[in-house]
């Protein structure tokens, strides 16, 4: 199968909102009047960002989901995306379900595939997403202020727990393993929540590298510090059944959660919860922004917790 036949069979679709899609030297997008274009790229490399055992349909889903998560963290509405795909071989048994997973999620978020590239090589997926956000209303990492509440969406830590099960460092019953594997392989991008937080959140970031690391990016950009209440961090029933040490590692430094971490003024708690309800996702306060620099973690009794780094670098 040649490159152009591959693209035509699996990745060419008519566009409805873009001015020009797949098939020319450039795609043409038309953001609405008064809108800014939000752009983000993520690359997924086999063996580093995903296991060779992941089903192709789930891989297609995740490849787009991690990019949509970046748009969510910016409060941007998805418009279009491009796909650059390196393949060891043009295998229909891989391409058909991969395209199905990719395009099903695209349809769910009304985002159009408008171009890209394919080549031979080790399996490597790079997607660039484009979204629009009203001028001056994008959610940024730099807006957190002392007194703001720190919130997270969903539950954290299941993706890391699944990784450890794959590595053989712990054993999970079948149903528990299925649940956390699903969290790792098919994350839910919180696009609706990002849109609902416009004008309400003071800062936001998606949780791809672990709560402590990603919150650290917000604190650096905002010139602030924070205290996080470790035991307030939401986790699944599967994770809650693990040892305290595993729970704390997974929720604090787990990575690959693709939930949103955001800040908002403390007097807006009701509005934040209402935004979560509109978006159909739980939101939980886990700490506060402070003027004093540094990141502090405390337990349920307010005692300091040692947060010596226990990092997470995907599957490396």
pLDDT digit string (tens) for 69-114?
999 999 999 999 999 999 999 889 999 999 999 999 999 999 999 9
Last residue within a domain, chosen from 102, 134, 166: 134
Residue 316 lies in a domain: no
List pLDDT tens digits, range 131-155.
999 999 999 999 999 999 999 999 9
Rg (CA), the chain: 20
Last residue within a domain, chosen from 134, 150, 178: 134
Q: For the ranges 34-43, 92-101, 123-132, 306-315, which has the lowest average pLDDT?
A: 306-315
Total domains present in the chain: 2
* pLDDT computed for residue 28 by the predictor: 74
CATH for 94: 3.30.1330.10
Residues 54 and 128 in one domain: yes
Residues 294 and 146 in one domain: yes
DSSP code of 243? -
pLDDT at 130 over 80: yes
Residue 180 lies in a domain: yes
Residues 219 and 92 in one domain: no
* pLDDT computed for residue 26 by the predictor: 67
Residue 75 lies in a domain: yes
Mean pLDDT of 176-189: 97
To the nearest whole number, what is the mean pLDDT of the chain? 91
Residues 170 and 280 in one domain: yes
* pLDDT computed for residue 306 by the predictor: 84
Residues 101 and 174 in one domain: no
pLDDT at 311 over 90: no
Residues 158 and 277 in one domain: yes
Residue 307 lies in a domain: no
Give the position of tokens 């941007």: 76
Structural domain of 167: 141-298
End-to-end Cα, the chain, rounded Å: 33
**Residue 20: pLDDT band with limits 50, 70, 90:** low
Q: Which has more confidence, 82 or 25?
A: 82
Residues 10 and 122 in one domain: yes
Residue 305 lies in a domain: no
Neighbours of 226 (CB within 10 A): 26
List pLDDT tens digits, range 217-267.
999 999 999 999 999 999 999 999 999 999 999 999 988 999 999 999 999
* pLDDT computed for residue 9 by the predictor: 77
Q: How far apart are CA 47 and CA 314, in angstroms?
A: 9
Residues 82 and 224 in one domain: no
The per-type count for the chain, helices as H runs and strands as E runs, is 10, 10
CATH for 217: 3.90.650.10
Residue 312 lies in a domain: no
Q: Are 231 and 188 in contact (CB under 8 A)?
A: no
3-class secondary structure, 48: coil
DSSP string computed for 166-227 = HHTSS---HHHHHHHHHHHHS----HHHHHHTTTT-SEEEE-SS-HHHHHHHHHHHHT-EEE
């Amino acid at each position: 199968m040649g490159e152009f036949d591959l693209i035509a069979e699996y990745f060419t679709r008519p566009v409805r909102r873009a001015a020009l899609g797949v098939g020319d030297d450039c795609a043409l997008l038309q953001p609405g009047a008064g809108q800014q274009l939000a752009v983000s790229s993520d690359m997924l490399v086999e063996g580093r960002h995903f296991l060779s055992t992941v089903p192709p349909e789930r891989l297609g889903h995740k490849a787009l989901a991690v990019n949509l998560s970046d748009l969510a963290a910016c409060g941007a509405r998805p418009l279009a995306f491009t796909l650059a795909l390196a393949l060891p071989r043009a295998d229909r048994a891989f391409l058909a379900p991969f395209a199905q997973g990719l395009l099903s999620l695209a349809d769910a978020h009304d985002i159009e595939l408008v171009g890209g590239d394919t080549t031979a090589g080790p399996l490597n997926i790079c997607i660039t997403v484009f979204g629009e956000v009203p001028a001056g209303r994008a959610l940024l990492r730099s807006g957190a202020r002392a007194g703001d509440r720190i919130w997270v969406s969903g539950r954290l830590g299941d993706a890391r727990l699944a990784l450890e099960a794959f590595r053989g460092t712990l054993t999970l019953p079948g149903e528990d393993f299925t649940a956390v594997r699903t969290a790792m392989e098919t994350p839910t991008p919180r696009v609706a929540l990002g849109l609902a937080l416009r004008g309400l959140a003071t800062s936001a970031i998606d949780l791809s590298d672990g709560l402590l690391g990603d919150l650290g990016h917000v604190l650096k950009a905002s010139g602030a510090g924070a205290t996080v209440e470790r035991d307030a961090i939401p986790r699944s029933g599967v994770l809650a059944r693990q040892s305290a040490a595993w729970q704390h590692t997974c929720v604090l430094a787990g990575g690959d959660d693709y939930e949103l971490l955001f800040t908002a003024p403390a007097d807006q708690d009701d509005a934040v919860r209402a935004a979560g309800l509109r978006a159909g996702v739980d939101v939980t306060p886990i700490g506060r922004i402070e003027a004093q620099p540094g990141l502090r973690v405390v337990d349920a009794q307010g005692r300091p917790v040692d947060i010596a780094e226990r990092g997470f670098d995907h599957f490396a």
